[in-house]
Amino acid sequence: MSSIETKSRVFSGVRANARPHVGNYLGAIKGMVELQDKFDCIFSVVDLHTVLVPYDPKTLQQSIRDVVLDYLGAGLDPKKCHITIQSHLAAEHLELAYYLGCVYPVSRIEDLPTYKEKKAQYPDYINVGLLYYPILMAADILLYNAELVPIGIDNEPHLEVAREMARKFNGMYGTKLVEPKRYATTGGSVPSLVGEGKMSKSKGGTIILTDSLEEIKAVLAKAVTDSGQGDKFPETGPAANLVTFVELFEGHDKAQQYRSMYKESGIRYGDLKAELAEAIYKELQPIQEKRKYFEEHPEEVDKILADGKEYAQKIARETLEEVRQKMGLV
């Protein structure tokens, strides 16, 4: 049984609603891989967050497993970090979430962009659980006193909630819950290829981590384009989005070439997409190979998850013990 590390702690999680895409990878998972060398890291598949919106119970276990395999494929190393399934620690995560929810105003949650988005997306499914999304997320992080959280920019408002909750709770009960900060990842906001805003599981047009070169080409073929030419390189829209992808996968110089090309000869999107597809595949191929190894060794994966649970539970129980005492519950 490993003892609790004294290094600063990191926590992050990915939901299992759909297969992780390159937005999740660049916005979160790659950051997790970067941090595992220096910090005491716990990375979770947050399946209690998955069931807050409509989902298919029949495929949930496979979806959870797919996220774990993507984590391992992307380079999370069980010798350097701990991987957990949130529901394996449901008692701990939900207990803290309940206490935090007791001190936090409903109106603040209703104001959050994600709550409004989810309400718009599932108008017939506006359940109490949805209000618990940010509360449970705060509990996930505060339970482990994590200082750093590698997540996309879209999640910054949730982190602000977690900080507010920690302050309020500490002020009321004299606990020492740590206020977490976002670790800025390389692709904090990977754009959508098919519309406005960021790439998202619900909008489609996503490149998932197991896509073949042909599948990547097919997604890029459908990516929206413009005329490819103009006086000024646009800050938003199809050209900006595709060139952001170039920047993320082929580097700054290549992206600058396209920005100049836009103002001169014009961008030929067929060429851009062909090169970009190759570059994305080059990044994903080693992930797919490593993932395949773990897919073929399920017993190793089960052991990793059992160890992760055991480690995380020790920390979670210590936090809860202190919280219950300070709240006068014991």
| Count of other CB atoms within 10 angstroms of residue 61 | 12
CA 158 vs. chain centroid, Å, equals 12
Number of residues that bind ligand TYM (CB under 6 A): 28
Q: In whole angstroms, how close is the CB of 296 to ligand TYM at the nearest point?
A: 25
94's tokens: 């939900």
Near ligand TYM by CB under 6 A, which window of 100-108, 123-131, 184-192, 279-287?
A: 184-192
Q: In whole angstroms, how close is the CB of 130 to ligand TYM at the nearest point?
A: 13
Contacts with ligand TYM, 4-23, as mask; x by CB under 6 A: -------xxxxx-------x
- Give the contacts of 269 (CB within 8 A, at least 6 positions apart): 225, 228, 242
For residues 200 and 250, what is the distance between their CA atoms, to the nearest angstrom? 22
**Residue selected from 161, 199, 284, 305 as contacting ligand TYM according to rule CB under 6 A:** 199
Q: Is 152 in the site for ligand TYM (CB under 6 A)?
A: yes
Q: Is 27 in the site for ligand TYM (CB under 6 A)?
A: yes
Q: Is 28 in the site for ligand TYM (CB under 6 A)?
A: yes
Near ligand TYM by CB under 6 A, which window of 75-83, 168-176, 186-194, 290-298?
A: 186-194
Residue 9's identity, in one-letter code, is: R
Q: Is 49 in the site for ligand TYM (CB under 6 A)?
A: yes
DSSP class per residue in 63-124: HHHHHHHHHHHHT--TTTEEEEEGGGGHHHHHHHHHHHHHTS-HHHHHTSHHHHHHHHH-TT
Max intra-chain CA distance, the chain: 73
Near ligand TYM by CB under 6 A, which window of 146-154, 209-217, 224-232, 257-265?
A: 146-154
Distances (CA, A) of 198 to 21, 182, 190: 12, 18, 6
Q: Is 149 in the site for ligand TYM (CB under 6 A)?
A: yes
- CA angle (140, 141, 144) in 5-degree steps: 95
Q: Is 182 in the site for ligand TYM (CB under 6 A)?
A: no
DSSP class per residue in 207-228: -BTT--HHHHHHHHHTS----S
Contacts with ligand TYM, 68-97, as mask; x by CB under 6 A: ------------------------------
Q: Is 140 in the site for ligand TYM (CB under 6 A)?
A: yes
Q: In whole angstroms, how close is the CB of 261 to ligand TYM at the nearest point?
A: 25
Distances (CA, A) of 25 to 33, 66, 191: 10, 13, 13
Q: Is 284 in the site for ligand TYM (CB under 6 A)?
A: no
Q: Is 308 in the site for ligand TYM (CB under 6 A)?
A: no
Near ligand TYM by CB under 6 A, which window of 52-60, 123-131, 151-159, 299-307?
A: 151-159
List residues binding ligand TYM (CB under 6 A).
11-15, 23-24, 26-28, 46, 49, 137, 140-141, 149, 151-152, 154-155, 158, 187-190, 198-200
